[in-house]
Amino acid sequence: MSTFRLSATLLSVLMALLLAGCVTDGNAPTTATNPRVDAPSLSAQLRPGDTMVVSLLGIPDPINSNVQIDEQGLIRLQYIGAVTAAGLTTGQLSQSIRDTYITKKFFTTLDVSVNVTERYIYIGGEVQRPGRIVWSPDLTLSKAVQSAGGFSLYAKESHVTLTRDRKAYDFDVKLAQRQPEQDPILFPGDSIQVPRSAF
């Protein structure tokens, strides 16, 4: 009878230990994840801040113009002045420029080439060098922070906001640095804001 009680007690202790092992404490690692962010719906469209070379070809004296889209979404070209560029693809902008030159009778035939040279993302808040960063296809959130000189002393690294297509997403950049699959690829026009920590 005592052997049965001892076995039952031992079994109860083992079950308790087994259940306790299934409970995680506050120090145990968690499977945190950053949000999934879709590619921008209009990623091919030109945006304010984009710089490009506009080439007028098929004319006696070809013209190359280095231009940047201003805050109003316009570029300015020789003879025709302001042309709307933001919101268009490079192909649409080429056609618009060609049509404008021909409609205004500066040329009767014309080929137009638009080549984007630089596009940007923007970063502000608690980083060493806030401002715009030249975009490249492999630019990620953590790389953008590094390009801005890294976090400031008071940055809240676990609560960085990425804004895309007028939607905001919060990211833990520490997690992104440890796990590359949690580090989102950035697209031109993305905006990053690093808040100040309360401590």
CATH of the domain at 137: 3.10.560.10
Look at residue 48 in the predicted model and tell me its pLDDT: 86
Q: Assess if residue 45 is contained within a domain.
A: no
Q: Assess if residue 125 is contained within a domain.
A: yes
Look at residue 23 in the predicted model and tell me its pLDDT: 43
Q: Tell me the per-residue pLDDT of 92-129, one tens digit each, with 9 for 90 and over.
A: 999 999 999 999 999 999 999 999 998 999 999 999 99
Q: Domain count for the chain, please give it.
A: 2
Q: Say if residue 42's pLDDT is above 90.
A: no
Look at residue 41 in the predicted model and tell me its pLDDT: 57
Look at residue 4 in the predicted model and tell me its pLDDT: 47
Look at residue 197 in the predicted model and tell me its pLDDT: 86
Q: Assess if residue 19 is contained within a domain.
A: no
79 shares its domain with 61 = yes
Please state, in angstroms and rounded to a whole number, the distance separating the CA atoms of residues 17 and 38: 44
**Span 6-20, average pLDDT:** 50
Domain with 93 in it: 51-118
Q: Assess if residue 91 is contained within a domain.
A: yes
Q: Assess if residue 131 is contained within a domain.
A: yes
Q: How confident is the model at residue 15 (pLDDT cuts 50, 70, 90)?
A: low
Three-class secondary structure of residue 91 per DSSP: helix
Going by the DSSP 8-state scheme, the letter that residue 151 receives in this structure is B
**How high does pLDDT run on average in the chain?**
85
The CATH number of whichever domain residue 80 belongs to comes to 3.30.1950.10
Please state, in angstroms and rounded to a whole number, the distance separating the CA atoms of residues 64 and 61: 10
Q: Assess if residue 74 is contained within a domain.
A: yes
Residue with tokens 């804001």: 193
More confident residue, 133 or 8: 133
Look at residue 9 in the predicted model and tell me its pLDDT: 54
**Span 149-173, average pLDDT:** 93
Domain-terminating residue out of 118, 133, 168: 118
Q: Would you say 172 and 34 are in contact if contact means Cβ atoms under 8 Å apart?
A: yes
Q: Say if residue 24's pLDDT is above 70.
A: no
What region does 64 belong to: left with phi over 0, alpha with psi -120 to 50, or beta?
beta
Look at residue 62 in the predicted model and tell me its pLDDT: 93
Q: Say if residue 10's pLDDT is above 60.
A: no
151 shares its domain with 111 = no
Q: Assess if residue 112 is contained within a domain.
A: yes
Q: Assess if residue 36 is contained within a domain.
A: no
Q: How confident is the model at residue 163 (pLDDT cuts 50, 70, 90)?
A: very high
Compute, in degrees rounded to 10, the torsion defined by CA atoms 41, 184, 119, 39: -10
124 shares its domain with 190 = yes
Look at residue 183 in the predicted model and tell me its pLDDT: 94
